[in-house]
Structure 1
Amino acid sequence: MEAVHEGEIVDVHALIMSFPASNTGFVVPLPSENQECFLSGLKLLFKQAGGIPLSIRIDNLTPAVKKVRGSEGEAQLTDEFMAFKNHYGFKVQVCNPRSGHEKGNVERKVGYVRYNFFSVPPVIKDFDDLTEQLYQKFLIDRKRMHYRKEAIIEDLWACEQKQLLKLPDNDYSVFKQTTIKFNKYNEFKLDQHLIHVPKAKNYSQLYCITFWNEFKVITNEGEVLLSDARPYMRKRRLIPWKDILKDWVYKPRVVGHSRYREYLPARVREYLLTPSLSLRKQRINEIITLLVQYDMKGINEQFYELISKNDEVVSNPYDVEWSQYDALQPIGGENHEGNH
């Protein structure tokens, strides 16, 4: 799915767990589908559910299954997933290949999440913020009637939740340690990106510790040489503002109702939402011109300077009392979701 962070598009991979008896669901948004994300996501799903299912049915996802079920025998789990399973004490049922009907309840839940919670990409601060947003949506969702049983989902879940295993006292640390191979420029590859480690050749051997959201480069003695976010945590795609604004020029009235309205930075949004449609059209064209040299974030940051250059009425070119507005709303502020 997609979300919007600071005016840019973020790709989201959602790990979903469904409880068929009550039709309760839980979802954790993640930046990737690797093993660290999968196991960290499962930990959070257990925490949200308040316990551990007795048995989990999964498809043949690579982080959990290294050999699918076939004529030669049952599916084989990865060593890391086996250790995780033994720590939490649940059983695992692996579906047959290409057999989505064997886990039909969660397949339907995937569609339910996509169409109800991501039909319009949500505005987020980070993955933790999106996790909380989705958790709250599912809390509200439990108050509806079960699609077949004549009962509220929340009441059915209260009964089903009693069957869960207790969470262990000791947390399970999810990470992966690998030996690093450097090129002649002191670079190594992580998540298909080259990472430079200064003075790496001064050490006979270095290791990379990867977590779901960050990594560390350490020596044999445990000294941390580099610590940073994983490359995919910075992966963003620009919203095609030029194309969107060109459509708005011909239909300036739709700006106030457009799904993209909330993704505009606050100052630009207020500037374009002037009641006068003729003035709104003029201002849209003005922003289109500025997009030749600046991105939308840059226009917002240099708003006063850029707009005043192109506005004839310099004394009050905005129709907004910005001194009062900015006193309440800092640049990139968290109280106005349109900034994110």
Structure 2
Amino acid sequence: MLTMPEINCIKLMRNQKSLSINHISKTLGINWRTAKKYADGDQLPKEKERKKSGMMYTEKWGEIVGDWLWEDQKLKKKDRRTNKGIFSALQELGFKGSYRTVSYFIKDWREGREDIEDETKDKNSERLIHPPAEAQLDFGLMQAVQDGKYRDVHCLVMSLPFSNGAYAIPLPGENKECLLYGMKRIFNQLGGIPRKIRIDNMKTAVVKPRNRNEEAVFTDEFLQFANHYGFEPQACNPYSGNEKGNVENKVGYVRYNFITPAPAIEDLEHLTKLLEQQLTKDRERVHYKKQVPIQELLEEEHQYLLALPKEDYPVFKEEKAKANKYGEITLDKVKVYVPKAYNYTSLSVIKYWNRFKVLSPHGEILYEDHRPYMHKNREIPWKSILTSWLSKPRAATYSRFSAYLPGRIYEYINISNLTIRKERLNWILALLATHDMNEINEEFYELLNGQSDSLKEPEAHPYDVDWNKYDQLQIGPKIEGEVQ
């Protein structure tokens, strides 16, 4: 390629001195075609085309990941998808590429965007050596979706720093009954009991935190539980979460890898089984430092654990209550009506982690039910979600929230024509002003009646039946004159 002064010389010889191409070629000692190109051709600047190649850019995968990242920008960082989570979700959709391909695309997508998180904090800390059969325990607040609504889940996580193994039990609260029940479930999953368990200064277990001169004082119920199972409880110093840093990190690990995005569940028992399966599989990975599978280290740690007691520990709390003139008692800060309660001056309430029962002074069961927080759910903000989908209708079928839609409504908006999809999203959005999503699902065809054709006829609904085909069937041979 010639330099600009050489090109300029060719132009002068051609245009101002009117020399032939052959003369210019011989004079400058260049190829005739090169002389012709620069003498008579226009040398205009062109913008460089920066077309990226690869399956993330030439196929649909880049658009899907871009939609997910765009959606996650509106959420708190702890609720956003990780690179690993995005890669796993793509594989479920049929993605054949590698994890590195996805990571490079995500890095490119985020390039140039401001990072609002300060990640320059000094993370240096003292290196600790953890002996086997010592555990750390903590709660972490997470969320799931049950019956089309958000449900707060208080996940009790126990980690074993020696092997880096973890166990998690989802619970409806963080009271004493939930804590002890969750620990029992973890012990059963582990198949043994750690010799020492370190906790923070949770009020359900610690009456008085430790200080320079005195050890921590535990509640009588927690000490009785610890004595039954034989472990030594240890409380952290106040405001010293680093003393149980392993379980702090493990709570985040469980949240980011197994509870983000929020899973759709039937009940807490369903979520318990899901977490047990996922954490069992997770223990197949290699320990980050010891370069041995976590499961092997856990098996080694098992020989140091205490054996489970023969008798199960009953977890409940009994307290006295008095009904008001309307026959109501206060339970978990909620008024609960108890039949015949006003007839007695005093009642006994026995509370378990998920239910309760009310007894008369003579031991008669007057009432029993689930505890009020078992029904405490939050509405999914469908209005803001659908409004967001209207600006990017393609994202609706790949969004994390699409899994929470009732099946009938998801099939209704899962249409390839984006114009019609926007019309249908607008229609559902208008209905949300007077109905909730479950009501729209239950009254779907009644509400759809009278709308425009594009709204009225959803594409190939999986439960639609063409009854005309059944009308055409004939049972047995046709007899002349017989009404079929």
Displacement of 1:315: 8.2
Partner of 2:230: 89
- Aligned partners of 2:338 and 2:456: how far apart in 1? 52
Q: What is the distance in 2 between the residues matched to 1:60 and 1:78?
A: 11
In the aligned structure 2, how far is the partner of 1:285 from the partner of 1:40?
A: 46
CA distance in 2, matches of 1:63, 1:315: 55
Q: Unmatched 5+ residue regions in structure 1?
A: 326-340
Change (3 A) 1:317 1:22: closer
Cα distance in 2 for residues equivalent to 1:101 and 1:94: 12
Cα deviation for residue 183 of structure 1 reads 2.2
Q: Normalized against structure 2, the TM-score is what?
A: 0.65
Q: Which amino acid aligns with 2:160?
A: F
Query: For 1:315 and 1:173, how far apart are their aligned partners in 2?
Result: 56
Letter in 2 for 1:48: Q
Return the letter of the residue paired with 2:176: Q
Instruction: Report what 1:154 is aligned to.
Output: 295
Alpha carbons of structure 1 residues 51 and 321: separation in structure 2 relative to 1, 3 Å: closer
Indicate the residue corresponding to 1:238 in structure 2.
379
Listed as ranges, the gaps of 5+ residues in structure 2 are 1-141, 467-484
- Displacement, 1:203? 1.8
| Highest RCO, 1 vs 2 (Cα 8 Å, sep ≥ 6) | 1
Q: Deviations over 1:34-76 (max 9, x none)?
A: 0000000000010111111111111111111111112451111
Given that residues 186 and 198 in structure 1 are in contact (C-alpha distance below 8 angstroms), is that contact kept between their aligned partners in structure 2? yes
Q: CA deviation at 1:114?
A: 1.8
1:203-214 correspondence runs (5 A): 203-214=344-355
271, 274, 279: which one pairs with 2:412?
271
Greater C-alpha Rg: 2
Change (3 A) 1:113 1:314: closer
- Cα distance between partner residues in 2 of 1:168 and 1:315: 63
Q: Give 3-state SS (helix, strand or coil) of 1:260's partner.
A: helix
Distance in 1, Cα, partners of 2:235 & 2:462? 61
Instruction: Say whether the 8 Å CA contact 2:424–2:455 is kept in structure 1.
Output: no
Q: CA deviation at 1:314?
A: 9.0
SS in 1 for 2:318: strand
Question: 1:333 aligns to what?
Answer: none
Instruction: Point out the more displaced range, 300-309 or 151-160.
Output: 300-309
1:73-152 pair list within 5 angstroms: 73-152=214-293
Are the equivalent residues in 2 in contact too, given 1:252–1:281 (CA < 8 A)? Answer: yes
Match of 1:292 among 433, 436, 446: 433
User: Does the C-alpha gap of structure 1 residues 280 and 139 become closer, same or farther in structure 2, counting only changes over 3 Å?
Assistant: same
Offset of residue 318 of structure 1: 4.3
Q: Judge conservation of contact 2:216–2:235 (CA < 8 Å) in 1.
A: yes
Instruction: Give secondary structure in 2 for the equivalent of 1:221.
Output: coil
The residue that corresponds to 1:172 in the other structure is: 313
Q: 2:432 and 2:455 mapped to 1: Cα distance?
A: 21
Cα pair 1:311 1:317 within 8 Å, conserved: no
- CA displacement at 1:276 relative to structure 2: 1.1
- The percentage of counterpart residues that share the same residue type is 50
In 1, Cα distance between equivalents of 2:427 and 2:390 = 10
The residue that corresponds to 1:22 in the other structure is 163
Match of 2:424 in 1: 283
